Every structure is written in structure tokens, then in C-alpha cells.
Amino acid sequence: MTRIGPEQMDDLALGAAVLGTGGGGDPHIGKLTAMAAMRRHGEVTMIGLDELGDDDLVVPAAMMGAPTVMVEKLPRGDEIVGAFQGLNAYLGRPVTAVTPIEAGGLNSTTPFVVAATLGLPLVDADGMGRAFPELQMVTPTLHGIAATPMAIGDEKGNSAILNTCDNLWTERIARTMTIQMGGVAFIALYAMSGSQARQALVPGTVSLAIQLGAAIRGARRAKRDPIDAVLAITGGRRLFNGKIVDVQRRTERGFARGDAIFRGLGTDEGHELQIRFQNENLIALRDGEVAATVPDLITVLDAESGEPITTETLRYGFRVVVIGMPCAEAWRSEAGLALVGPRAFGYDVEYRPL
Amino acid sequence: MAKELRTLTVEDIRALEIGAAILGTGGGGNPYIGRLRTEQLLKAGRTLSVLPLEALDDDDLVAGVGGIGAPVVGIEKIERGDECLQAMRAVERATGRQAAAVISCEIGGANSMEPMITGAQAGLPVVDGDGMGRAFPELQMCTFFIYGLKPAPAAIADEKDNSVVFTGTQDMFWLERLSRATAVDMGATAGYALPPMRGEFVRRVAVPGTVTQAIDLGYAVLLARRKKRNPVEAILKACDGVLLFEGKIVDVNRRLARGFAVGRATLHGLGADAGATLAIDLQNENLIAIRDGTPIATVPDLICMVDLESGQPITTEVLRYGLRVAVLGLPCHPLLSAPEALAVIGPRAFGYDLEYRPLRGSRG
Amino acid sequence: MLRIGIDVGGTNTDAVVMDGTRVVEWVKMNNSADITAGITAALHQLLRQAGVEATQIGAVMIGTTQFTNAVVQRRDLAPVAALRLCLPAAQSLPPMVDWPEDLREAVGNCWFLAHGGYEFDGREIAPLDEAELRGIAGQIRDRGIDAVAISAVFSPINREMEQRAADILGNELPGAQITLSEEIGRVGLLERENAAILNACLRPLGARVVDAFTRALAGAGIEAPLYLTQNDGTLMAADYAKRFPVLTFASGPTNSMRGAAFLSGLQEALVVDIGGTTTDVGALHHGFPREAGAAIEVGGVRTNFRMPDVLSIGLGGGSLVQDGATLTVGPQSVGYKLVEEGLVFGGQTLTATDVAVAAGMAEIGDAEKVRELDASLVTRTLAAISSMVEVACDRMLLTPEPVPVLVVGGGSILVGDKIGVLSATRPPYFPVANAVGAAIAQISGEIDRVYALAELPREQALADAKRQATERAVEAGAVADSVEIVEVEEVPLAYLPSNATRIRVKAVGDLARG
């Protein structure tokens, strides 16, 4: 168990953005909201998965929606607690711990708001080990854990409880409601027991994110290469060195979809990289050949500072390094690839692990 | 609860089908499939009972149920059968309290049948009354909401075991918007259940006796046909309605706007109305009747169109040139013409710069 | 090319031989018990009268009411297994729920629900379950049923599921004859499923009847290809007709209208077919019968076939004229007993025909026998008849513009040359207008689909629908470059997003020569 306070939120947000693979929303806003909650209610106790009892009731909490909307329509602040308590009331038993469902991006910080406000422990784990665009794309789905009952709410006081026949339907209905609510919603879902959580969740993602953030900031202070620091911790490698020369974006059914083209610099002079994304970076093609795909992590970092760049902030002229990092083992199974491999996103390519 | 229940027969349901379509004022969807399903339940030995409105106890909880979605999908993707029941159960789970009776939100059209089906499946009586006394395009246009029912908790459910309980809605428009969008996801048909209503509230704000009224209108038509008498006269005798116009449809102008069939039907008069022209503006339901340029009937009064020969109710979808019809006006219940109701269902609420002038019925 | 058109009716078999657009010769024969022999006899007679060799005939088209009659009379119907792909939806109403009980029993009342079907936007309600379908096939095999009808929710949007289910069942039941609802009917599950089941139960009869027709032609030495006429006035090749016997429903009235149009040269007209007991009024649009919009009942079963919009009133040559408090003509009629009971034939009953003869509008029977009829009665009766026909015609008009009226049928003597403000004519060869209608028929293809116009622009959707309709016409036997689009209809669908619109296109082409 560790105590986490507002001063670690900078590291968490930064590291979570690396794991966010371009998506996951802007952690900056989430960070500020979490810090405010912790300043008001006190520090958060973070526990490891192994510290959960069998009969604990663990409920993940998150925001969902289009990142392009999230950067505009900031939360009121208490919506996530409202959703969480809505589910708690529906379940009829006390929830004993909160956890991220997605530690990549904004949703690394969201559960801290719940933990601080309600005085609950936060589990050092998540359902992805990164970020993914759709609700069913989590490791609990691989273990047959239902996303519903699920609570969803917005800043206007609209709230609902969903019960669906499978997790894909959860995503479909929740996404429609999110769009109707204006593009952003707050959710509590995948209620599970301690033993289910231990079995199904990816361990240690929150502390990993904090570690990454601290390493990047430490490297900057020591004038060392922050990207090397990231690669050392994650076991990843550089995919491309270049400059952004084109970005095409459109919002489709609540997702920011598009392509980014990079022209090579330095050792990659004369080469081109293309990244296709759906909120998160999905596939990287170097000169037309597949260099990396989901479920492995593809993240674009500022070449100088190592700052992760989200898909909605990609802009012409940025000088970047694109890195690839291996995904959590759970995703490499047949079921995992069926859920989040390249084919699940419509790319007819074979997954080759980084 | 006083047990003056009336049990319905297969013949009653056939009459209800016709009467509900008349009260549907051109909209409400076709009750045919709902009638078939209700008949199936009766033939399987279930009981349909109707409870007089006054017999509700103050603390009885009443569930308003109905179908939501596109009528054109409803004729293809027929219901699994218990969608409304599942919606009602979802609300009961969310509130921890059980319904003692069900009620229709909209007696006009297909939603006359859904509460019958839910009632038969759950073993609950259907209240003799509803939330409109007719049909309207949107859910917030029923008396329950007009007179103060909070829009949550309400639920919708589909045939795949998906359900959504709306535990909080900012206002009625949000409930309508969220539930309709979710229903489209579910395949454009779903069952819904309104927030539970206390018997005392329902007695006060439900349009009374409309199940019986619909059945009576249906029987008037059926008996007139059997005895080869004039069905239009029979309908008028059975209610407070007046004959507004007899004519032939000479033009139908219809387009899709915001999901509704919007338009105008034009009629040339026959018989005593020869030489006159009637225009009817519609938005799924008939909204305004204009005779030679002067409005003679408007929402919330009922403007019903039936075939001149057979008395068969005419819905918006089947309007076409050449049909010979009788246009009937039925005064609405006073609950619909009170000022707070007119704000939601009066001519101005539909975009017409017209004062509502109540129709005078045959009974004065 | 010489073509022969034949109408196999309830009482008579009429046949006509045409050279291009010219009627060469015609015959009208009373039916015998052996239909095949009767057709052969009519053909022999026709060829002899026309002075034409059997080898000169390029094509033979037959319109028949045998399939309609089989359903109405509940005979010669095969047991059917009705499979609906819909679960978990649509369980509340099983197949054939609204059928008259005797008809349901006649086809075996055997049905199955399975997973499948589509949502309005093309998503699957549930994927097909092959094991489930194989289990159902086993049950069908155990019941010894050979005829199967498969209907999937929203199959007019996507035929794939019905076809895959047909493949799976076809593997398990090698001899089975499978009808797919999407090939028969339009949006409206119950009506389309009913149409598919009716088709399935008629297929064995269809094979027998078409084979009998083929033998009849051979019996007359004719080797030309055989076609059957459909309820929209177009043709099906013999093999196609064996698969889709239901499409022949109402081809009788349709051929009558089409023949009347052709013989008069009019594309837009009303057709008034006055028989012995009833008058059928139909409307011609672009030379084809206007289709009924709402569901049509056949034998008490609701279907949504393409059927001509026909208004029937109780007026015919044998209608009783009764002068009481008011004067009425029909609906009671002496029907075919006119030749015994009508006044002009020495009988005792005042009929419409008697009045027409008295007014000098026809020379039938003995005019002397009605010379004493009260002049005012004759005038008022004719006025009443004229008014009945006029109202019926007015009800069939779709626009205010007046159209000419073509009068056919044996009872056509009852009206003069004006019906209200509309002019009425009897086209030449009007006694065999129906056989002519069969002879001139073309081949059609039709598409009735829901398109999401927010995703596919309207121009593309229309082009797609037109292309598919054309393909279907060619599939049914039309010459590709003769195919024309004759009808396009768009109906926006309320309550649905993505601008969902139902688009219906009909294409028609000439049948292939030789």
C-alpha cells in the first residue's frame, strides 16, 4: 500500500499520457481535478491487486467521450462521484475499492477523484495497460466479466443504469448516450469481486505510469534523453524519428479518427511513417510496411522533451520520435487479439509482437 | 382496490383495435400487430382485466407502458413479446417497489395494446384511462408529464435483454431524447415504462374511461358493418363527436422532418360539403383542419378521419388521392385544454400562430 | 414473331395468336375436366382458324387462375415448414398466426423460429446458428416435409441470411424446395412470410401445372418457349414460374387490363370489366395496372404481393333490377343462369341485360320480350347503372385529370359511350382482351429496399436500385438492352435516423427472341 498525494499527479498524468498511445484524453484536466479533490479530502491510499480480499467489491470509474470535446467541455467536478454512487446504490452492497479501467490517459486520474472524495482505496491496476477506444476492449471481457450494471451520467444531472446482454452492447448504448449528452459522460462499470479483479486486471499500471512520469521529468532535469528513460522502463524501442507533415481528422460516431504522416529526420531521412488512429494510435506503417500495431503501444513523443502528443494535438511541424512498447501479455492470446488486435479495428494484417 | 374488474374478450380486443385507431387521429401506429399479440395471450388462457379509474387506491402504484420506435420497423421486427414488461421490471428493480396496475400513455393507435399485453403477462389489471385520450408524436405530450410527473426513473428494454433505466433526467425533453436515441440503437423498437405513479395522481390526471371509449367506438363500427348501416353515423352516436367534413382526398403532400411525417392533405367536399375544400395539416397525427381557409378544429381536439363507406380509420401512411372520407371532430378532455396543457399540446406548441378554440361536441 | 396468348379461366379458355401487334385470330372454348387436353384443343382450333403452322409460333404465354383457386379452395396444397430467422426478436407472433384455421391445417401448421434477421440499418439481430438450423432440418426431415419457406426480419435490406440458411438446409434436405421471402414480398414481416409460405405450398402444384402446359403445347406440335404471366402483367419463364407460382395470383384481371390497354392504344385509362355478377375497375398507368398499396388478402391470408388495385362492385349483366322504394341494380345476380332466367331469354327475372336490350343498347335474346318495359324504369335503371360505374371509376382515379375508360367483358353492353364526364369505349377483340394481355406481356424485375440516405447519397441509392431491378429483369429472361425503368417510388420513413428511405424500382424489358 502506498499513499498518493497531489504532488504525484504530475508524474501520473505524464506517464499515463505515454501509455495513452495518443488517446485517452488530455490528462492535464484530469490531473487538476484529481489534485483539487485530494487537496480537499486528503491523500489516496493505493493498494496492490494482491492486497484485495476475495469478497472486496471493486468498481472501475472513468470518463468516456471524444477527446476533442473533453478539452472544451470541462467537467463540473463531481459527476464521476455521482455515477459511482449511482452504481453503488444499484448494487445494493458497499463498494470497497475503486480502480481505473484504463490507465492510459485521463482515466488514470479520474478514479483518484472518487477515491479521495469517498475515502476508498484505489487499486494499482487497470483493464488495459494502455488506452483503447471502446468500452468492451478490456481484460475483464476476456474473463467473461460483464460491463453492466453500469452507471452513466453527465454534468446536467442526466443519469442512467445500463444492463446489457454483452459488453459490445454496453459500448454501443453507452456511446450513443454519451453523444446525446454532448460528447462526454462519466461512468462506473465492470463491478467485480476481489478475486475476479486479481484474475482479470492488468497489475501495477498506475505505479508504472507514475514511474514513467517521474523518469521523464528526472531525465529532463538531468539533461539526459527522456525517451531513453521511457524505453528502459517499458522495454520498448524507437520506431521513427521525424516531423509531422500531414494530419487528417474527422469525428465519427464520437471517435476522433484519422491519419498522421511523418517525414523522416536523421537516421530516418528519406523515409515516411504513417499512423492511423481512432482516438488511440492503431497502426504504424513505415514506407507502407507495417512497423507496429495494436495491441502493442504506439506513442508519439516530442523529440526534445519526450512529452507525449495526443492525437488531437498533433500538428504540422512537430518534431517527434515515435516509439513502440509491448502490450500486456493478456492481449496476446487468441481471444485478446480478436478483441483488440489489428483485425478488430478493420486492418487485415497479422499481429507481430514488438 | 375495489374489484370491479371487467374481463376482455377476443371480440373486445378487435373492437379496441378499431376504436384506438380512430382515436389515433391519423397517427399512433397500426394496432393490428398489437391486437394479434393480445389475442394470442387470450387464446393461451391469460386474463385481460380493465380497472375503472376511480377504483385505484391512493397508494397503488401504476406503471405507464408502451412501445417506442419506428412503426415501419414494428411491422418487420415484431416484438419478442415482453419488452414492456422487462422495462417495467427494470423500473421496479431501480425503485424497489412493485406496480399494482398498468396504464396506457396513449390510447390512440398501437399503444392501446401494449399495456394490455403487459397486464396479461404480469397478471395486473389495465386502468380504464390513458395519458392522452388520443395520440401525439412525442412522449412528453401526455397528461402525466404535463401535470407534474418527474421524468425519472423510467426505463426502456429490447428483445436482446438490454435495458436502460433513466435514473435522473434534467427534464422531460432529455428523457425523450435519450430514450429515443437508445431505442434506435436497440433496433428502433423497444418497450418503455414510465416512472411509477401513485393511484391518487393517476385518478386526478389520467384521461378517464378511454379504454372503454375505444372499445365502444370499435363496436359501433363493427355492428354498423354487420347490419349494413352507416358506420360514420354509428361512430358519432357513440361519442361526443361531430361531422366536420365529408370529402374526397385530392392531394397529399408529405415529407420527412426530424423523424416525423409532416404534411398536408387536401379534400374536396362531397354531399352537403360539395364545393368546399378542407385542408388538414399533420405531423404523424392530424393537427389542424382548415375549411375554405378558416381553421375549424385544432389540437388538442381530435381530428379523426375514417373511410366514408366502411368507417375504417385512416392513418397518415395510407393517405392517398381518391379516398372518400369522413372527417370527425371529437372535443378533447378538459385536462388537455387547460392552460398548462395547451403550452405543450396546443396549436402554438406545434408552431401554429393560432388561438385554441374548443370544438363544440354533439352533446353540447 | 407469332405469339400465342392463352387465358385459362374459371369457365373458358381463351386463346389468341398475334403477329407483332396485330391480332390474327382468336378462339373461346368452354373448359373441360382435363385442362391440358382443353388447351391442346384450343391450340389446334386456333392454328387451324388462323392458317398458321405450329412451327411458326415463336412463344406461348399463359395466364391462369389455378393457383389462386387452389388456395381459395384449399386443395392441391403441399405441407410446408416455415422457418423464421428472428430470435430473440419476433417471438410474440408465430408464423401463420392470423391464417384461417382450415388453411393453416391444409399446409401442416409446421413452423420454427431460429436466430438471425437484421435490424433496420443492416446490423444482425443475431448471427445464424448453424447447429440450430441443422437441428431444425432434422425435424423437418422427420415430418417428411419437402417444401420450406424461409423468412428473415428485414431481408429486403439484405438477402444474405436467407440464402445462407437455404444453403444449410439444402445440404441437410437434398430434395427440398426452398422459397426465400425476400424473392417474393416486401417490407412487412407477416405479410411477406405469408407470401413465402403460400408460394412454398404451391410449388408441387406449380411443377405439375407447368409440365401440363408444356405437354399441351407439345400436343399441338408447338416447340416454342412457354411463359406464364404474373400479377403485375409481366412474364415469367416456365422454370421461373415453377419456383414462384404465387406470382401468378391476379394475373387474370391484370391480363384483362393490359389487353384492353393494348387493343385501344391507351397507356393511361381506367378499365371497367363487366361480368355476369361483378364489375372490376382497375387503373392503367404507363400501360400497367396500378398496384394496390395496402396488404391484399388471398384466401383469407394477408400478403403484400404486387397485386393490381382492383375495385369490385356488385354490378353485372345478370344483376337483378328491383324497383321498390328506391331502384336498385344488384348486388344479387342470376350469374351464368342469365340465359335461362333473363326476360329476353324467356325467363322471369328482370336483369340489367334486359334493360340494356330494351334500350336498344344490345341485341341479345328476344327484344320483343322486353318491349313492354316501362320507359321511365329503363331510363332510371340505366342512370343507376351509369352512376354506379361512375362512382367506381372516380374512386379509382389518382389525379383530377380525366382519363378514358375502356369497357370489356360480356356485360359491357350495360354502359354507353359516356360514364359521367369520362368517355368510354369498347376496344376491338374485347371478348379475349385477357388472352391478348398475356400475348403482349413483357418481362420485369423489381426491387423494394430500405436505403440509409445519410450514408449513401440519393443518386447512388437510386442508381443501385435501378441496377438491381434491371438485373432481376434480365435474370427473369429480358433482353438486356431493351430493359427500361418504368417505375420509381421513394417513401421516407418516419422516426428513423440516417434519412432511411424505402426505394422501389420496376424495370421492364422485352423477352428474348427464339
Banded pLDDT at C234 (limits 50, 70, 90): confident
Do C120 and B187 count as a contact with CB atoms less than 8 A apart?
yes
Supply the pLDDT for residue C412.
85
End-to-end Cα distance, chain C: 9
Is the CB of residue C354 less than 8 Å from the CB of residue C321?
A: yes
Q: Among residues of chain A, what percentage have pLDDT more than 90?
A: 81
Q: Among residues of chain C, what percentage have pLDDT more than 70?
A: 96
pLDDT digits (tens, 9 = 90+) for B285-303: 999 999 999 999 999 999 9
Per-residue pLDDT for A317 more than 90?
A: no
Exposure b/e, B150-176, CB count within 10 A at least 16 = b: ebbbbbbbbbbebbbbbbbbbebebbb
Name chain B contacts of A157, Cβ cutoff 8 Å. 168-170
List of E strands, B88-220 = 101-104, 126-130, 154-157, 163-168, 189-193, 197-198, 207-208
Do B167 and A161 count as a contact with CB atoms less than 8 A apart?
yes
What is the distance between the alpha carbons of residues C417 and C424, in angstroms, rounded to a whole number? 5
Separation in Å, CA of A66 to nearest CA in chain B: 18
State mean pLDDT over C80-93: 92
Separation in Å, CA of B259 to nearest CA in chain C: 4
Q: CB-CB: which of C90, C93, C495 is closest to B259? A: C495
What is the distance between the alpha carbons of residues B160 and B80, in angstroms, rounded to a whole number? 9
Supply the pLDDT for residue C514.
42
pTM of the model: 0.81
Do C495 and B80 count as a contact with CB atoms less than 8 A apart?
no
Banded pLDDT at B22 (limits 50, 70, 90): very high
Banded pLDDT at A350 (limits 50, 70, 90): very high
The answer, for A86 touching chain B at a CB cutoff of 8 Å, is yes
Q: Which residues pair with A277 in a beta bridge?
A: A258, A281
Nearest residue on chain B to C193, alpha-carbon basis: B76
Domain coordinates of chain B in residue numbers? Answer: 6-208, 234-350
Do A172 and B178 count as a contact with CB atoms less than 8 A apart?
no
Per-residue pLDDT for B56 more than 60?
A: yes
What is the distance between the alpha carbons of residues A222 and B109, in angstroms, rounded to a whole number? 75
Do B164 and A163 count as a contact with CB atoms less than 8 A apart?
yes
Per-residue pLDDT for A75 more than 90?
A: no
Nearest residue on chain A to B185, alpha-carbon basis: A173
DSSP annotation of C294 reads: S
The answer, for B10 touching chain C at a CB cutoff of 8 Å, is no
Q: Neighbours of B (≥3 Cβ pairs closer than 8 A)?
A: A, C
The helix-helix angle for A205-221 and A226-234 (nearest 10°) equals 150
Amino acid at B154: A
Banded pLDDT at A192 (limits 50, 70, 90): very high
CATH class for the region spanning A227-345: mainly beta
Q: Using a CB cutoff of 8 Å and minimum separation of 24, what contacts does B333-339 make?
A: B333/B133, B333/B207, B333/B208, B335/B133, B335/B143, B335/B147, B335/B205, B335/B207, B336/B132, B336/B133, B336/B143, B336/B207, B336/B300, B337/B300, B337/B301
- Which residue shows C-alpha cell 494502455? A130
pLDDT digits (tens, 9 = 90+) for C158-205: 889 999 999 999 999 999 999 999 888 877 899 899 999 999 999 999
State mean pLDDT over A188-210: 97
The answer, for B76 touching chain C at a CB cutoff of 8 Å, is yes
The answer, for C400 touching chain B at a CB cutoff of 8 Å, is yes
pLDDT digits (tens, 9 = 90+) for C49-65: 999 999 999 999 999 88
Supply the pLDDT for residue C418.
87
Separation in Å, CA of A156 to nearest CA in chain B: 6
State mean pLDDT over A75-92: 90
Q: Which range is most confident: B30-34, B284-288, C449-453?
A: B284-288
The CATH number of domain C265-428 is 3.30.420: yes
- Which residue shows C-alpha cell 492511423? A276
Q: Give counts: helices (H), strands (E), chain C.
A: 13, 24
Is the CB of residue A70 less than 8 Å from the CB of residue A25?
A: yes
Supply the pLDDT for residue C304.
79
The answer, for C376 touching chain B at a CB cutoff of 8 Å, is no
CATH class for the region spanning C72-202: alpha beta
End-to-end Cα distance, chain A: 32
Is the CB of residue C15 less than 8 Å from the CB of residue C438?
A: no
What is the distance between the alpha carbons of residues B76 and B94, in angstroms, rounded to a whole number? 32
Record: fold of A2-205: CV3147-like fold (3.40.1610)
Separation in Å, CA of B224 to nearest CA in chain A: 49
Supply the pLDDT for residue C500.
72
Do A157 and B186 count as a contact with CB atoms less than 8 A apart?
no
Q: State the average pLDDT for chain C.
A: 88
Closest CA to A132 of A347, A353, A341: A341
Banded pLDDT at C410 (limits 50, 70, 90): confident
Separation in Å, CA of B39 to nearest CA in chain C: 10
Closest CA to B139 of B151, B126, B127: B151
Best B162, B171, B177 member to test A by mutation, with max A CBs in 10 Å, is: B162
The answer, for B111 touching chain C at a CB cutoff of 8 Å, is no
Amino acid at A3: R
State mean pLDDT over A305-328: 91
The answer, for C28 touching chain B at a CB cutoff of 8 Å, is no
Nearest residue on chain B to C122, alpha-carbon basis: B187
Q: What is the ipTM of this complex?
A: 0.87
Is the CB of residue A190 less than 8 Å from the CB of residue A136?
A: no
List of E strands, C299-381 = 301-303, 310-313, 319-323, 327-333
Name chain A contacts of B94, Cβ cutoff 8 Å. 90, 161
What the block records as the C-alpha cell of B261 is 411525417
Is the CB of residue A63 less than 8 Å from the CB of residue A107?
A: yes
Do A176 and B170 count as a contact with CB atoms less than 8 A apart?
no
Q: CB-CB: which of C190, C293, C496 is closest to B188? A: C496
What the block records as the C-alpha cell of A150 is 453500469
Per-residue pLDDT for C384 more than 80?
A: yes
Supply the pLDDT for residue B336.
97
Best B86, B161, B165 member to test A by mutation, with max A CBs in 10 Å, is: B165
Do B70 and C495 count as a contact with CB atoms less than 8 A apart?
yes
Q: State the average pLDDT for chain A.
A: 93
pLDDT digits (tens, 9 = 90+) for B92-142: 999 999 999 999 999 999 899 999 999 999 999 999 999 999 999 888 899
CB–CB contacts below 8 A, B to C: 119
Of A245-254, A267-276, C169-178, C250-259, which gets the smallest average pLDDT?
A245-254
- What is each CA distance from C485 to A312, C282, C504, C508, C509, in whole angstroms? 49, 22, 11, 6, 9
Q: Where in chain A is the domain with CATH 3.40.1610.10?
A: 2-205
pLDDT digits (tens, 9 = 90+) for C317-372: 889 999 988 899 988 888 767 778 889 989 999 999 999 999 999 888 889 999 88
pLDDT digits (tens, 9 = 90+) for B301-332: 999 999 998 999 998 878 887 789 999 999 99
Cβ neighbour number for residue A335 with a 10 Å cutoff:
13
Nearest residue on chain B to A171, alpha-carbon basis: B185
Name chain A contacts of B170, Cβ cutoff 8 Å. 156-158
Q: How many CA atoms lie within 13 A of C233 on its CB side?
A: 32
Per-residue pLDDT for C9 more than 90?
A: no
Amino acid at A292: A
Q: Among residues of chain B, what percentage have pLDDT more than 90?
A: 78
User: Between residues B168 and C457, which one has the greater pLDDT?
Assistant: B168
Closest CA to C419 of C382, C394, C386: C386
Separation in Å, CA of B87 to nearest CA in chain A: 11
DSSP annotation of C336 reads: G
Best B78, B85, B139, B283 member to test C by mutation, with max C CBs in 10 Å, is: B78
Per-residue pLDDT for A7 more than 70?
A: yes
Is the CB of residue B218 less than 8 Å from the CB of residue B280?
A: no
Per-residue pLDDT for A18 more than 50?
A: yes
What is the distance between the alpha carbons of residues B350 and B348, in angstroms, rounded to a whole number? 5
Supply the pLDDT for residue C495.
47
Supply the pLDDT for residue C493.
60
Per-residue pLDDT for A196 more than 80?
A: yes
Per-residue pLDDT for B1 more than 60?
A: no
Separation in Å, CA of A106 to nearest CA in chain B: 25
Separation in Å, CA of B336 to nearest CA in chain A: 28
Record: fold of B6-208: CV3147-like fold (3.40.1610)
Q: Neighbours of C (≥3 Cβ pairs closer than 8 A)?
A: B
State mean pLDDT over B31-46: 92
Best B93, B158, B167 member to test A by mutation, with max A CBs in 10 Å, is: B167
Do C188 and B75 count as a contact with CB atoms less than 8 A apart?
yes
Q: State the average pLDDT for chain B.
A: 92
pLDDT digits (tens, 9 = 90+) for A87-143: 999 999 999 999 999 998 889 999 999 999 999 999 999 999 999 999 999 999 999
Supply the pLDDT for residue C121.
73
What is the distance between the alpha carbons of residues A22 and A104, in angstroms, rounded to a whole number? 9
Closest CA to B79 of B55, B102, B103, B110: B110
Q: Where in chain A is the domain with CATH 2.40.390.10?
A: 227-345
CATH class for the region spanning B234-350: mainly beta
Separation in Å, CA of B260 to nearest CA in chain A: 19
Is the CB of residue B157 less than 8 Å from the CB of residue B163?
A: yes
